[in-house]
């Protein structure tokens, strides 16, 4: 999914306001700012504070940018001293260049210059995507609380390796030659006393910009043949991360800017940059003819092409050299290598669909975050758009279609995208999806034996994204790990849970929902004696423990939230349980009905007993993919009610 990586040209190491100071320059003004920056108590216990971060970007006519950053960080705690012993600067040799020009440590008794000869240049850690990224590491002498590190850095180029190894500065010019774009965040996990971003462009290349998620001060002045834009913000508190928070760009103050006129211009460029890579060879055509043979309906043929790409192309990003990072790999390469990232998997799917006779185009999208109206690159994912006869589009995503039924994931609702076409398309957005579309049904049939053993079956049936998570729970595990999976689902019923059998429909049959049937046994899970006893509901154990299969349950761990919660998809979970007691036993008291939550998230419980049979129904509904903090309260209440019932005793009598 992150195959396009982050197409916003955010250069994490950028900028300087003014020249690098000479040796022996009086540091008193900087030290005064350092002292005035305060202590940990002034910053809610933070380990460090950014005294100032000044970034100056000078853009040439070609779009080549020169970025100078001047930054001072004050250490507030011992942990902060430990965490700032090494500074890391990431870059890609094919598209950008980074240089640490000076570094020094401000101490109470003077200034210590840092020896830059000790900088090491290494391959950056990589996972799934191996494009040759590198990092420079600068070691800082031992720091004490109250001291500060001052660093000047320079970078030219852009973040993603779009181009090949050209001569001179050509490799650093962005692919959309002559244009510049950026998305600048003004808040991070450290408090910042002052952040300044300055941009210098030619008068004939003015930028359009907008601020989001709060106020950012700005100005623009004429400077000869150039325009100088400045954005700044003072006294910015630290952003306190929480689990499953949406992308930072959706929450913190930011400026999005670009010299590009509109999204249609970006759309036309994206099409032109990739139009030659979707060639249908005889070998590809023969394969498409083979796996679509006998399929008459468009929906079946489209699904066959999409799932061929999803299941046959492994997610592994190997560099093809020139054009890597943005340009889609040629389909001949993908077909032969059977690996790639999202853009390449999408490209393979597009080529297969083209061979099947459909009009299709590549599209850029942003999974998990907004794309703002300002047409700056704000994308991290690549998908496919199929143009229908009426001119509308059907969106297809082969990367997310791995072991998933639908052609477009129901976890990709409310997602912005731009399709690359010759005529140009505006920014669009996928629709919202409903909780009912991602239904998960859990049917539990349980027998309680006289010796306290409980045994039974769980039958799991799901739709759309719930279906995908259930399929993947099995498909992404080896067969010898399935018993551990079931144990995790039911371990709160008894640590002695045993998997008796596991049956499921074909995981690679995407024509119908997967059905999983689990037969299990748990010695000693119930207490049964002559006077009565108690049991717990097995289905409720699954609902509270299947946190990967029911994402919303695992997302309700905090008492309250400061920031929104992204659960990715709305969901409705319905559990029906039938528990058969030993002969002569009955439900001692009615199952208390529970209504928890509200309109956004809710949990409902009901139950009754008839003879030696107990019937229980649980229903959990989460109706949005992103919950605001006040809406999260409903989810927390609903999940806590579910957990309370799962852990409570159901008394039985004889």
Residue 408, token pair as written in the block: 């477009």
Residue 627, token pair as written in the block: 């919950």
Ordered domains of the chain (ranges, CATH): 28-259 (2.60.40.3140), 267-429 (3.10.620.30), 436-653 (2.60.120.1130)
- The count of C-alpha atoms lying within 13 angstroms of the C-alpha of 614, restricted to the half-sphere facing its C-beta, is 31
Q: Quick one: which of 293, 331, 294, 289 has its CA closest to 312?
A: 331
Residue 512: what pLDDT? 93
Q: Quick one: which of 376, 416, 379, 418 has its CA closest to 182?
A: 376
Residue 636: what pLDDT? 98
Give the C-alpha separation, 82 to 144, whole Å. 9
Element (H, E) at 251: none
Residue 329: what pLDDT? 84
User: Looking only at Cα atoms, what is the longest distance across the chain?
Assistant: 96
In which residue are the tokens 């504070």 written?
Answer: 49
C-alpha radius of gyration, the chain, whole number = 29
Give the C-alpha separation, 37 to 29, whole Å. 13
Contact 652, 529 (CB under 8 A): no
The residues facing 42 across adjacent strands are none
Residue 325: what pLDDT? 58
Contact 359, 371 (CB under 8 A): no
Give the C-alpha separation, 462 to 242, whole Å. 29
- Provide the 3-class DSSP secondary structure of residue 458: strand
Residue 288: what pLDDT? 97
Residue 582, token pair as written in the block: 């030993």
Q: Residue 429 phi/psi, 5° resolution? A: -145, 135
Q: Quick one: which of 361, 71, 57, 410 has its CA closest to 230?
A: 57
Q: Tally Cβ neighbours within 10 Å of residue 106.
A: 21
HEC readout, 536-603: CCHHHHHHHHCCCCCHHHHCCCCCCCCCCEECCCCEEEEEEEEEECCCCCEECCCCCCEEEECCCEEE
- Provide the 3-class DSSP secondary structure of residue 487: helix
pTM of the entire predicted model: 0.89
Interval 586-599: pLDDT, tens? 999 889 999 999 99
Name the stretches of the chain with pLDDT < 50: 1-27, 160-167
Give the C-alpha separation, 652 to 585, whole Å. 7
Contact 148, 106 (CB under 8 A): yes
Residue 95: what pLDDT? 79
Q: Tally Cβ neighbours within 10 Å of residue 298.
A: 14
Q: What is the DSSP letter of 283?
A: H
- Provide the 3-class DSSP secondary structure of residue 637: helix
Residue 420, token pair as written in the block: 């690359």
């Amino acid at each position: 999914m992150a195959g396009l990586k982050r197409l916003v040209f955010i250069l994490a190491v950028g900028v300087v306001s003014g020249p690098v100071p000479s040796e022996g320059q009086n540091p008193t003004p900087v030290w005064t700012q350092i002292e005035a920056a305060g202590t940990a108590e002034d910053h809610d216990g933070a380990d460090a504070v950014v005294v100032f971060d000044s970034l100056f970007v000078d853009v040439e006519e070609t779009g080549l940018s020169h970025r100078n950053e001047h930054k001072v960080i004050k250490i507030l705690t011992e942990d902060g001293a430990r965490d700032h012993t090494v500074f890391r600067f990431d870059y890609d040799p094919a598209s950008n260049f980074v240089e640490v020009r000076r570094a020094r440590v401000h101490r109470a008794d003077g200034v210590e210059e840092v020896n830059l000869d000790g900088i090491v240049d290494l391959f950056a850690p990589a996972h799934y995507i191996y494009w040759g990224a590198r990092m420079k590491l600068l070691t800082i002498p031992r720091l004490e609380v109250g001291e500060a590190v001052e660093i000047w850095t320079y970078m030219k180029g852009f973040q993603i390796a779009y181009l090949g190894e050209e001569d001179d500065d050509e490799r650093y010019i962005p692919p959309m030659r002559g244009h510049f774009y950026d998305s600048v965040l003004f808040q991070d996990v450290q408090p910042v006393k002052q952040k300044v971003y300055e941009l210098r462009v030619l008068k004939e290349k003015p930028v359009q910009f907008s601020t989001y998620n709060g106020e950012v001060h700005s100005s623009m002045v004429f400077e000869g043949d150039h325009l100088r834009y400045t954005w700044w913000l003072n006294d910015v508190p630290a952003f306190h991360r929480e689990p499953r928070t949406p992308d930072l760009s959706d929450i913190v103050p930011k400026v999005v800017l670009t010299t590009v006129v509109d999204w249609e211009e970006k759309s036309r460029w994206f099409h032109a940059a990739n139009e030659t890579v979707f060639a249908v060879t005889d070998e590809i055509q023969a394969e498409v003819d083979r796996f679509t043979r006998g399929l008459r309906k468009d929906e079946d043929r489209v699904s066959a092409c999409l799932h061929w790409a999803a299941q046959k192309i492994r997610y592994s990003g190997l560099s093809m050299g020139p054009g890597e990072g943005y340009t889609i790999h040629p389909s001949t390469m993908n077909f032969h290598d059977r690996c790639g990232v999202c853009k390449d998997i999408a490209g393979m799917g597009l080529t297969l669909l083209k061979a099947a006779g459909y009009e299709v185009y590549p599209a850029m999208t942003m999974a998990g975050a907004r794309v703002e109206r300002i047409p700056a690159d704000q994308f991290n994912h690549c998908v496919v758009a199929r143009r229908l006869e009426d001119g509308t589009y059907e969106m297809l995503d082969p990367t997310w279609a791995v072991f998933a039924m639908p052609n477009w994931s129901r976890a990709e609702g409310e997602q912005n995208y731009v399709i690359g076409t010759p005529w140009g398309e505006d920014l669009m957005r996928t629709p919202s999806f409903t909780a009912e579309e991602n239904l998960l049904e859990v049917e539990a049939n349980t027998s309680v034996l006289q010796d306290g053993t409980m045994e039974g079956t769980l039958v799991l049936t799901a739709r759309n994204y719930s279906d995908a998570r259930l399929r993947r729970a099995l498909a992404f595990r080896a067969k010898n790990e399935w018993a551990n999976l079931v144990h995790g689902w039911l371990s709160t019923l008894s640590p002695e849970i045993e998997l008796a059998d596991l049956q499921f429909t074909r995981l690679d049959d995407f024509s119908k929902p997967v059905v999983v049937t689990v037969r299990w046994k748990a010695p000693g899970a119930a207490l049964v004696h002559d006077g009565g006893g108690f049991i717990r509901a097995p289905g409720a154990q699954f609902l509270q423990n299947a946190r990967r299969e029911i994402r919303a349950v695992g997302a309700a761990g905090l008492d309250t939230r400061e920031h929104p919660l992204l659960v990715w998809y709305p969901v409705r979970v319905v559990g029906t349980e039938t528990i058969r007691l030993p002969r002569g036993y009955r439900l001692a008291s009615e199952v208390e009905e529970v209504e928890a939550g509200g309109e956004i998230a809710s949990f409902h419980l009901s139950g009754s007993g008839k003879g030696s049979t107990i019937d229980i129904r649980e229903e959990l509904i989460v109706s949005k993919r992103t919950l605001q903090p006040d809406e999260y309260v409903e989810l927390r209440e609903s999940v806590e009610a579910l957990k309370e019932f799962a852990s409570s005793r159901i008394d039985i009598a004889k």
